[in-house]
Amino acid sequence: MDLNEDNLLGFTRALSESEQVARSELADLFDSAPLPKGERLDNLGLHMDHLVLGRALFMDHLYRQILGMPGVVMEFGCRWGQNLSFFMNLRTLYEPTHYSRRIIGFDTFTGFVDVAVEDGDSIYARPGNVRTTVGYDAYLERVLAARERMAPLSHKRKFEIVTGDVRETLPRYLAAHPETIVALAYLDMDLFSPTRDALLALKPRLARGSVVVLDEINDAGFPGETTALREVFGLNGLALRRVPFLNGPGYFVVE
């Protein structure tokens, strides 16, 4: 199986030619790095680019806004799980004993299920795009379980991976967990239908101070995400925010 990321995404990232060459070189250098195995995890920043660092800083920015309020963190469209890992590390740093701050990731792991008319005719919105390798959810489970064993209260399971179409899995999850308050919801599903249905299901579980993030807001490549937000929450009453070091994501705090 060809593991080239563009084949799994279904489209090519919008990088200049020089950026593509440099990114490819960094990837090769990462694969061939002459670092001892015991020191590789301590030096991940060596090959990290500014976009990944910016995303880590954004996760920190979001997480700090929910300190002091109860509730879980949910990511919709977690894919490879990097944000889930960021959130788990941030919980360990800021709230090491807050075991009810569960971190839950939702994804099909097989890419987009279907596309609605609200998603337009973008080349990015195609069924099967943004998938992972086969069986990746099981691998991600192992990674996050190992990470949890490095944190306090490791005997309490504080994360969950939910595989499947969120239009089915989220209502089922919430019905099984009536205690759930959502402190932070990160929506990165790109498309209209799953984003709309997730927002509708989440709305009764949000409290004042909850943070809702949309990764492709105001993005012409994925217009359905903004349309879903407009349909469920409206725009006039929202104070939408962004950070200066990332182009895509926007968020609002429930008031």
pLDDT at 3: 42
Average pLDDT, whole number, for the chain? 95
pLDDT at 7: 65
Contact (CB, 8 A) for 87 and 227: no
Give the domains, in start order, of the chain with CATH numbers.
1-48 (no CATH), 49-253 (3.40.50.150)
Tell me the per-residue pLDDT of 105-159, one tens digit each, with 9 for 90 and over. 999 999 999 999 999 998 889 999 999 999 999 999 999 999 999 999 999 999 9
Rounded CA separation 203/182 (Å): 9
Tell me the per-residue pLDDT of 139-152, one tens digit each, with 9 for 90 and over. 999 999 999 999 99
Tell me the per-residue pLDDT of 3-50, one tens digit each, with 9 for 90 and over. 445 568 877 777 889 999 999 999 999 999 999 999 999 999 999 999
Helix (H) or strand (E) holding 251: strand 250-253
